[in-house]
């Protein structure tokens, strides 16, 4: 989902609505053929997962987004060195002193590899994704909320406050001390000089705010969910009937 947001700058609520509508149409087509109960059961499982799967949180950090699957993942290794430095610096003591120095060396190495300028005393909450960290410059006093996405060549100046689950496109420049709300989208090469409301999109030079029609999207989601739950009851009823027939055979 983050991948879609970064490429097409689509709001996650709209993506969920599109997914529900596609699933609804798929169920309506397959409800005409009620002989394959196993197929209906799989469709019902997909339906439940798509409805119950939560959106990316803007308040609770998803630390699995920063976990490195292998050693050569420069962006995640860079974030790991920053996290460890801040951890051992807060703990203090002789042991913490030497580990801080070790993480400084690691931070210098990965900063050179990724060509980024993210200070060790930055204010970044968990779940940050840096798919292409090349050219990212961040001021120490800037703060970033949980589960954000920052692409390459992004500049963030002092006293910028970025909320949770904010996607910042490639080449974007935040050059004023502004506040960006939760679930906002910053378009590629946008120059942000004003506050961005939650759920809005900022595009252009200077950036213009495009409000999201969250109420209309919410109505689509609720209406589609009601139809899907009705279809689910039909599928479960057919599943029970097929089970009885198979048992009699």
pLDDT digits 0-9 by tens, 134-151: 999 999 999 999 999 999
DSSP state of 129: B
CATH 2.160.10.10: which residues of the chain? 63-210
Q: What whole-number distance in Å separates Cα of residue 162 and Cα of residue 195?
A: 10
CA nearest to 89, candidates 98, 100, 78: 100
- pLDDT(242) > 70: no
- pLDDT(247) > 70: no
| Gap between the terminal Cα atoms of the chain | 45
Taking each helix axis from N to C end, the angle separating 74-91 and 93-114, rounded to the nearest 10 degrees, works out to 160
Using the Cα atoms of residue 64, residue 6, residue 164 and residue 141 in order, give the sign of their dihedral.
positive
Give the pLDDT band of residue 4 (cuts 50, 70, 90). Answer: very low
pTM here is 0.67
Q: In sequence order, what E strands does the chain have?
A: 123-124, 137-138, 143-144, 149-150, 155-156, 161-162, 167-168, 173-174, 179-180, 185-186, 191-192, 201-203, 208-210
Written as six digits, the tokens of 56 are 């990316």
- pLDDT(163) > 90: yes
User: Residue 190 forms beta bridges with which residues?
Assistant: none
Which of 117-126, 162-171, 209-218 is the least confident region?
A: 209-218
Q: What whole-number distance in Å separates Cα of residue 211 and Cα of residue 184?
A: 10
Q: What whole-number distance in Å separates Cα of residue 21 and Cα of residue 246?
A: 33
Written as six digits, the tokens of 55 are 């959106």
Average pLDDT estimate for 92-117? 94
**Per-residue confidence (pLDDT) for residue 37, from 0 to 100:** 53
Written as six digits, the tokens of 242 are 């097929």
Pairing of strands 143-144, 123-124: parallel
Mean pLDDT over each residue of the chain, to the nearest integer: 78
Higher pLDDT, 246 or 39: 39
Write down the number of H helices and E strands in the chain: 6, 13
Q: Does domain 63-210 have CATH number 3.30.70.270?
A: no
């Amino acid at each position: 989902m983050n991948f879609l947001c970064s490429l097409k700058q689509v709001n996650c609520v709209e993506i969920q609505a599109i997914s529900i509508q596609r699933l609804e149409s798929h169920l309506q087509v397959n409800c005409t053929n009620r002989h394959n109960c196993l197929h209906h059961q799989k469709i019902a499982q997909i339906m439940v997962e798509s409805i119950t799967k939560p959106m990316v949180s803007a308040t609770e950090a998803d630390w699995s987004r920063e976990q490195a699957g292998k050693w050569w993942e420069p962006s995640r290794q860079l974030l790991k060195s920053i996290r460890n430095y801040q951890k051992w610096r807060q703990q203090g003591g002789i042991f913490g002193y030497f580990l801080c120095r070790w993480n400084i060396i690691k931070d210098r190495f990965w900063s050179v590899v990724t060509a980024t300028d993210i200070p060790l005393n930055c204010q970044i909450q968990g779940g940050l994704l840096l798919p292409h960290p090349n050219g990212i410059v961040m001021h120490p006093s800037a703060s970033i909320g949980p589960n954000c996405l920052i692409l390459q060549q992004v500049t963030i100046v002092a006293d910028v406050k970025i909320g949770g689950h904010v996607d910042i496109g490639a080449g974007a420049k935040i050059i004023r001390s502004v506040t960006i709300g939760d679930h906002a989208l910053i378009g590629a090469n946008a120059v942000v000089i004003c506050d961005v409301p939650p759920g809005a999109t900022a595009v252009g030079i200077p950036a213009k705010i495009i409000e999201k029609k969250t109420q209309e999207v919410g109505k689509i989601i609720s209406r589609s969910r009601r139809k899907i739950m009705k279809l689910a009851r039909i599928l479960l009823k057919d599943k029970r009937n097929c089970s009885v027939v198979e048992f009699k055979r």
